[in-house]
A and B are shown apart, each in its own frame.
Chain A
Amino acid sequence: MKARVGVGAASVTLALITLAALAPALLVDGTPDQADALAALEGPSADHLFGTDANGRDVFTRIVYGAAPSLLAGLGATALAVAVGTALGLLAALGGRALDEIVMRLVEVVLALPTLLLALLVITITGPGTVNVILAIALYTAPSYARLVRAQTMVIRRAGFVEAATSLGLGQGRIILRHVLPNAFAPLLVLATIEVGTALVAAASLSYLGLGPQPPAPEWGAMLSGGRDYFSVAWWIAIFPGVAITLTVLSITVVGRHLQRLVEGRTS
């Protein structure tokens, strides 16, 4: 019962954040770059729910407009990692022993390297920016998807229905697409949902370090980075963007774990 309340609250939060990302103008009147020099560094009030920053921009408006760029990196990195990981996993499971060895050793090497450092290494080479952050995070998250898809495929290809499909004379490609992949999908979706949270945190961290979207973009991590010199006098600049990140990740984790329990309940 209690768990259901949690999942409900998390779903509502995610719906609101999605709305903010898709149609921020529905939630707030102003624009994120609208500056009012006379109202700089004002605390939370009825006029400015979350206060204003050093340029007199409304923090709440910027957080609402920041939903899209903040979610973009995490979702993009996860999507890319799932695609690359699935391809590698299928290759390893179905491509013969030699290929399997090569892919799985590669996966092991990447998983052994420290994650954030690997992302920093990529960004040192490519330079900062949203696309590069996505590439950097996808590089080190893809291996876990490759492992999962490989393991799933290994199990499923020995299942009765695949044998039946083979004996019916269906082609390899069709069997993989129509029979193997859909059955590997549920655990993949669960892992991806939980990992979106991790990817979001990583993206926000990189933005905070000044390596993601550059100011004046209202991205949450970048907002914290930009407000760094004012934390001692204006606590609201330090608090609210972080609350937005944490709430988003928290909600995603709650929903992801719920999905996980559903899927595990079905298979056991």
Chain B
Amino acid sequence: MIRRILTRIGTSVLVLWGAVTVSFTALHLTPGNVVDVLIGSSIVTPEVRAQIIADYGLDAPLPVQYATYLGRVLRGDLGQSYQLHESVATAIGTQLGPSIQLAGAALLVAVVAATTLALLTARRKRWIRGLSSGLELIGVSIPTFWAAILLLTVFSFQLGWFPAVGDDSGSSLVLPVIAVAIPITTMLTQLMRESLELTLEEPFVLTARSRGMSDLGVRLRHALRHALVPAVTLLGWVIGLMVGSMVAVEQIFSRQGIGQLTLTAVSGKDLPVVMGVVLVTALLYVVVNILIDLLYLVIDPRLRSAA
């Protein structure tokens, strides 16, 4: 297990290094001179141009520029936004709050909904399972952005139950949270039901039943714990999925956040910001995965002796 964690950390470093390298390559693959991209459409004097070249170290050979870039990222310096007149780190920092709120709430809703659905449908009558897998099929097929538009059209414009825009009140959070939670819920339900069904065939479940424990008790006290394990494994991946969903959802509900920041940056060719968001998400992904591995060590004592 210790070895597994070390391998995990090694791979994580590789992933982050890969992400930084992709970003650097991206910056230099941009059609046209990097200086022109930085200047954008504004007209500048040769002195200013020279200043930009010096500031960004663009006169140095490529390997030196790469080393400098790597060093800066390691110190947490993600560069300057072309559009926003502030550093990428500041831009991401100020937009992080509303997105974490949205993602956290969506994750909570998804986990509760998926656990409930899995508990209710695992090894039940055929029609219940059929209904549930039908819903899951729709859940995986429906594009998140359209689910968001649908929720907006029905519950804001037609029924008027929730505000259509803004991020100031609790009720404005409901529809965006549902939109972000749908794909995660679907995925988690499928996964948890599968492992729940496997667990319910284990001998210890039979033992519990033979002690006279109720079906619900068996499911809650014995089987659920095992079903949660594969769900936890997916967490890192779910974070990436949510950041992607938020790009469309935040735009549709006119919310502030990382998604809105990213979309504006993509349209404005603000590469440092997009790279910054990719790097931060990759960092979150690897940190969460390492934490999950450590968490396993705590929940499952068998793994400790296996090391």
Residues of A within 8 A of B (CB): 2, 105-106, 108-110, 112-118, 120-121, 123-125, 127, 197, 201, 204-205, 208-211, 221, 224, 231-232, 235, 238-239, 242, 245-246, 249-250, 253-254
Contacts and interface: CB of A to CB of B under 8 A. Distances in A.
A125 B29 contact: yes
Contacts of A116: 243-245, 247
Contacts of B152: 231, 238
B18 interface: yes
Q: Which among A106, A114, A238, A242 has the highest number of chain B CB atoms within 10 Å?
A: A114
Given A117-B277, A249-B141, A124 B282 contact: no
A113 B26 contact: no
B12 to A, nearest CB: 8
B286 to A, nearest CB: 7
A265 B282 CA distance: 38
A153 to B, nearest CB: 23
A124 B143 contact: no
B248 interface: yes
Contacts of A120: 247, 262-263, 266, 274
A246 B240 contact: no
Main secondary structure of the interface of A (DSSP, over half): helix
A220 to B, nearest CB: 9
Q: Which among B31, B140, B241 has the highest number of chain A CB atoms within 10 Å?
A: B140
Contact of B240 (A117, A123, A224, A231): A117
Interface string B216-259: 00000000000000000000000111011101100100000000
B15 A112 contact: yes
A235 B248 contact: no
A253 B144 contact: no
B138 interface: yes
Given A209-B251, A254-B137, A113 B164 contact: no
Chain B residues touching A, range: 35 or more
Given A124-B266, A231-B157, A112 B285 contact: yes
B286 A112 contact: yes
A109 B18 contact: yes
A238 B274 CA distance: 29
Interface of B: 11, 14-15, 18-19, 22-23, 26, 29-31, 130, 137-138, 140-146, 149-150, 152-153, 156-158, 164, 239-241, 243-245, 247-248, 251, 262-263, 265-267, 269-271, 274-275, 277-278, 281-282, 285-286
Contact of B143 (A2, A232, A245): A245
Nearest to B285: A112
A109 B19 contact: yes
A116 to B, nearest CB: 3
A114 B241 contact: yes
B141 A250 contact: yes
B117 to A, nearest CB: 19
A254 B140 CA distance: 11
Given A124-B269, A235-B157, 20 more contacts: A109-B15, A114-B243, A115-B244, A116-B247, A117-B262, A117-B274, A120-B274, A124-B26, A125-B271, A205-B248, A208-B145, A208-B146, A224-B149, A232-B164, A238-B149, A238-B150, A238-B152, A239-B153, A242-B143, A245-B146
A113 B263 contact: no
Contacts of B282: 112-114
A195 B209 CA distance: 42
17 contacts: A112-B286, A113-B19, A113-B281, A114-B281, A115-B244, A116-B245, A117-B240, A117-B243, A124-B271, A125-B26, A125-B30, A204-B143, A209-B251, A224-B149, A235-B153, A242-B143, A250-B137
